[in-house]
Structure 1
């Protein structure tokens, strides 16, 4: 992963320098933005992953995350002192892929960075088609089309959709889904997965309340009900 570039958006110099040092030790190219404005300028350089602090001096991290999602599905790991479950759900709901609470282990953060980049790389090279071509999932490009229209998903949303779509009609628990796409347990993983599924449904379903692709199996989890072509 030595050719991968990471942007750290963090106003605390000590934290930014420590994270940068650990990432560079593993061969990553690292840039630092100390303010939201600086981050929005640097993001144009097409980074492979962004580590985003939510408590910035000029623009809050949620606003930056929302702005990024308007034009990019780059993986975003939120780095913050906000530790409540509602804060995590809010962050994931606006498009973050992961959430790391301060204080944190730099080694664990680097491991999460590697995990996200590794999973993006490993997707099989094929296109999955459902409901007579209504939904297309292109794994090499991590692209999704619904009725010929490009659908913008975050990398985590794509991984969840792909994991379900590769197992049509199979009921998967929330824990199975989060372990498959993240590689470790989230605290409050049930609400985390529910938040991601809600986002996915709003993007791929004509009526999220009457889904034709992802069905809720109450008390258990979810299953993909699209018909493979």
Structure 2
């Protein structure tokens, strides 16, 4: 039996928590239980793969709790509730819920939904690319660094983001305005020279190591693109 996915069950009904925990542990899941939002907040950062969240809880209900944690927690959240109205379900989805099961529910159905969400998450992770290469450039997303001919480029944070943005969108032309917005989070024309200067600095740093290839091409009147000759 493999699995060992970590699941957090948040419900003020201790019997429900115990039942879910006992059932899911039989299938190899690592289950933690919290009977209220305070207990949940103490362990929320333990790296759970999925959260089962009751809506009607004292102190802070599930909707409020989901709103509080959603920006920091990316795992699937399955709401469980005795509320059956469509507007209740829509509210749960609007605050970041991924699924909604009404009480009473079948443990087999709950398990099936859990497994469905975990499979989807795994497919997404499998598609993520953490190492990109182009010409003699290697971008390591895990290490937040870029190598040129095996030598680490000494880049500012914005220069790193600039290369990453262009490199992950290879052969696509971006205007200075779009680059400024995507890399710097600004859209003021008065800062467009910042893009020009950064491109100039990046080119200079790359050419100090690799004089053979050109990576950031200027498309006059349009902007810049990442382009390596004879590379698709």
TM over 0.5: yes
- Any residues of structure 2 matched to 1:96-107 within 5 Å, and which? 96-107=97-108
With over 3 angstroms needed to count, the CA separation of the structure-2 counterparts of 1:21 and 1:129, relative to structure 1, is farther
Q: Which has the higher contact order (CA 8 A, sep 6+)?
A: 1
Gaps of 5+ in 1: 135-145, 151-228
The alignment's C-alpha RMSD in Å is: 2.6
| Partner Cα distance (2:173, 2:21) in 1 | 44
With over 3 angstroms needed to count, the CA separation of the structure-2 counterparts of 1:42 and 1:147, relative to structure 1, is same
Task: State the 1:122 CA deviation.
Answer: 1.8
Q: Deviations over 1:21-72 (max 9, x none)?
A: 1110110000100011111111121211100001112211111101111212
- 1:9 paired residue number: 10
TM-score by length of 2: 0.55
Q: Deviations over 1:169-195 (max 9, x none)?
A: xxxxxxxxxxxxxxxxxxxxxxxxxxx
- 2:74 paired residue number: 73
- Any residues of structure 2 matched to 1:188-227 within 5 Å, and which? none
With over 3 angstroms needed to count, the CA separation of the structure-2 counterparts of 1:131 and 1:92, relative to structure 1, is farther
Task: State the 1:12 CA deviation.
Answer: 0.7
- 1:125 paired residue number: 127
With over 3 angstroms needed to count, the CA separation of the structure-2 counterparts of 1:149 and 1:47, relative to structure 1, is farther
Gaps of 5+ in 2: 130-167, 175-180, 186-231
- 1:108 paired residue number: 109
Tell me which stretches of 4 or more aligned residues in structure 1 moved more than 6 Å: none
Task: State the 1:96 CA deviation.
Answer: 0.5
Structure 1 residue 147 and structure 2 residue 207: aligned?
A: no
Task: State the 1:131 CA deviation.
Answer: 10
TM-score by length of 1: 0.56
Structure 1 residue 64 and structure 2 residue 65: aligned?
A: yes
Larger Rg: 2
CA contact (8 A) 1:54 1:61 kept: yes
With over 3 angstroms needed to count, the CA separation of the structure-2 counterparts of 1:130 and 1:92, relative to structure 1, is farther
With over 3 angstroms needed to count, the CA separation of the structure-2 counterparts of 1:65 and 1:126, relative to structure 1, is closer
